[in-house]
């Protein structure tokens, strides 16, 4: 596609439920990133995928968070047993280089997650 697509754009869930967020990167982009942005805050790194290499999961805040990526395409971020502190915008980005140094990242518009 022309850009990075994220779905859903908004998600309201009850505390304790599991949620799955989806990211479709730009075709041909080998690197994919997930970040979290709380209201009025900066971007917090969560996880990074590059091709078939093992993902860098060092930013995942707890074992309730996990992410998968199928080859160099779609990625899903799963949050189990959601807590109110998980409420944030979850941003996905992709880049054609590792780590996107020459070209920058292309971000999606994010999924706004609200845990009630």
Partner 1 sequence: SQKIEQNSEALNIQEGKTATLTCNYTNYSPAYLQWYRQDPGRGPVFLLLIRENEKEKRKERLKVTFDTTLKQSLFHITASQPADSATYLCALDTGRRALTFGSGTRLQVQP
Residues that bind partner 1 (CB under 8 A): 4, 33, 35, 41-43, 45, 48, 50, 56, 58-59, 91, 93, 98-110
Strands 111-115 and 10-13, bridge-based pairing = parallel
Give the residue among 26, 46, 25 at the shortest CA–CA distance from 88: 46
Specify the residue, 4 or 113, whose C-beta has the smaller distance to partner 1: 4
Least distance to partner 1 from the beta carbon of 51, Å? 12
DSSP assignment, residue 56? B
Least distance to partner 1 from the beta carbon of 91, Å? 5
Least distance to partner 1 from the beta carbon of 93, Å? 7
Cα–Cα distance for residue pair 16/22, rounded to 1 Å: 20
Specify the residue, 8 or 16, whose C-beta has the smaller distance to partner 1: 8
Torsion of Cα atoms, 54 then 107 then 115 then 70, to 10°:
-30
Specify the residue, 3 or 16, whose C-beta has the smaller distance to partner 1: 3
């Amino acid at each position: 596609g022309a850009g990075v697509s994220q779905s859903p754009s908004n998600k309201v869930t009850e505390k304790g439920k599991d949620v799955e967020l989806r990211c479709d990167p730009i075709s041909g982009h080998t690197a994919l990133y997930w970040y979290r942005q709380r209201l009025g805050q900066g971007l917090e790194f969560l996880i990074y995928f590059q091709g078939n290499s093992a993902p860098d999961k060092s930013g995942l805040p707890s074992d309730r968070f996990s992410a998968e990526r199928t080859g160099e395409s779609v990625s899903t971020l799963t949050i189990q047993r959601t807590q109110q502190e998980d409420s944030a915008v979850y941003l996905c980005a992709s880049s054609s280089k590792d780590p996107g140094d020459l070209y920058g990242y292309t971000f999606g518009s994010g999924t706004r997650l609200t845990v009630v």
